[in-house]
Amino acid sequence: MTYDALIAGASFAGLAVAAQLRGKRVLLLDRKPIGTGQNSACGTLVCILRALGLDDAILQIHDRLVIHTPGRTSVYPVAEPFCTFDYAVLCRLLREQGDAEFVLATALDLKRDRVRTSRGIFRGEVIVDASGWRAALGSHLRPDLVRRDRLNFGLETIVAYKDDGLHFWYDPRELLPMGVAWAFPSGEFSRIGIGSYQGNTSLGPGLDRFLANLDLRRDGFHGGYFPHALRDPVVGDLFLVGDAAGHCLGLTGEGIRPALFFGTHLGHLLCQVLNGEITLEEGQRAYRRLVVAHKPSYNLLCLAQRVLPRLPQPLVQGLMALIRWPAVLRQVLALYVRAFWLEVPPSPVAADTHTWGALEKFPGASDHRIRKNACSHPRQLMRPPNLRHSRWPEGQRSPGQQVERLSLERYGTTY
């Protein structure tokens, strides 16, 4: 049977592509049931989940970043809040936006329009590799696509620990010379992990030591590699997206927002290809252009993750202090947040059902006009955030406060 689109990998990137292809004959393949393969701390910007109508998955909203360096803790209020979310719920919501068929199978290799899987051969008019850092199909076509020297590695556990804010620890002497640790509170629990910028996989003892400092113990673990450099987004006729295309950012390791962003745009382009509005070659060129437009930001973060851990501590402390100045913090956050994709095309379901009035609660997240046709031309639908305030306006309750209550009432017992 030939499908309009065949997507290998049904996590953030693959599901975002499928959501835009509602009404087409789409096959989603994954080696695990959808929503069961959480390998991350599931932290992202609230605005991207809201833009895609996925905010019911939010567990806790955070309006500050907390960076711990040797001897100093710096708190950075963020005008555009981050959140932690429930992976299974997000995958379910995203899947419901599309109407793709799902087959539990491992994609093995690819020849022209045929994908060989553990459950037989499937054909697709367009084929997307969204299978994560391994790029199961792309690396079959191009064996040198996945470079080990361009992979970070992270290990994480979930522990009963409540807090507020997204915390990062940078302590090259005590922790890891080229690495970082984090704690992302998510309601009643926190996702606590450690990551190596050199792709070092022996992180278990380091994670245990780090947890012991917080009087905590590891309870199971998950994690894996995450890329920090872009790969070719089109190999032959195959489209790659998410970690498969190296869309995860260097330094911060943020890969969910890029996977959702590029996945949504790619789905939109493929919809136009399948409708005959543009040719496959035009779709490939447009997708390449979109990725290349973000290359400078990727290069900058990639450089930062190589250089920052090597700087002398006093210099790092100086930089941290500089960024604490509200004017500088505003600029840094504006660059990071704006450069990375607040303009997303609407999801068809979000367009129909989302209560956009609710966005008024969040600074800079208003003024949205939603278009119903998933295949309409992408345009800027979300105004870039208003980063005039680096803290919540006087008298306004922060989203963190609102969602602490939400998480306790609705999600506190779901783990």
Ligand X SMILES: Cc1cc2nc3c(=O)[nH]c(=O)nc-3n(C[C@H](O)[C@H](O)[C@H](O)COP(=O)(O)OP(=O)(O)OC[C@H]3O[C@@H](n4cnc5c(N)ncnc54)[C@H](O)[C@@H]3O)c2cc1C
Complex with ligand X: residue 163 or 356, whichever CB lies closer: 163
Distance of CA 173 to the CA centre of its chain: 29
Min separation Cβ 35 and ligand X, Å = 9
Complex with ligand X: residue 39 or 297, whichever CB lies closer: 39
CB 358, CB 352: distance < 8 Å: no
Min separation Cβ 395 and ligand X, Å = 31
Q: Which of 270, 271, 225 has the alpha carbon at shortest distance from 246?
A: 225
Complex with ligand X: residue 11 or 284, whichever CB lies closer: 11
Alpha helices of 249-325 — where are they, by DSSP H? 256-274, 280-293, 295-307, 313-324
Min separation Cβ 159 and ligand X, Å = 14
Q: Work out the burial of residue 20: count CB atoms within 10 Å of its CB; fewer than 13 is exposed, 13-18 middle, 19 or more buried.
A: buried
Q: Please enumerate in sequence order all residues whose Cβ is within 8 A of that of 154, keeping only pairs 6 or more positions apart, or say none.
A: 40, 193, 194, 195, 196, 203, 223, 224, 226, 253
Complex with ligand X: residue 32 or 379, whichever CB lies closer: 32
Cβ-count burial 268-299 (b if 16+ within 10 Å, e if not) = bbbbbbbeeebeeeebbebbeebbeebeebbe
Min separation Cβ 228 and ligand X, Å = 10
Complex with ligand X: residue 156 or 379, whichever CB lies closer: 156
Complex with ligand X: residue 142 or 312, whichever CB lies closer: 142
Min separation Cβ 42 and ligand X, Å = 6
Complex with ligand X: residue 115 or 351, whichever CB lies closer: 115
Min separation Cβ 36 and ligand X, Å = 8
Binding residues vs ligand X (CB under 6 A): 8-14, 29-32, 37, 39-44, 106-107, 130-132, 134, 136, 154, 156, 184, 193, 223-224, 226, 242-244, 248, 253-257, 259
CB 7, CB 128: distance < 8 Å: yes
Query: DSSP string covering 59-83, please?
Result: EEEEEEEEEEETTEEEEEEEEEEEE
Min separation Cβ 374 and ligand X, Å = 20
Q: Which residue is nearest to ligand X (CB)?
A: 255
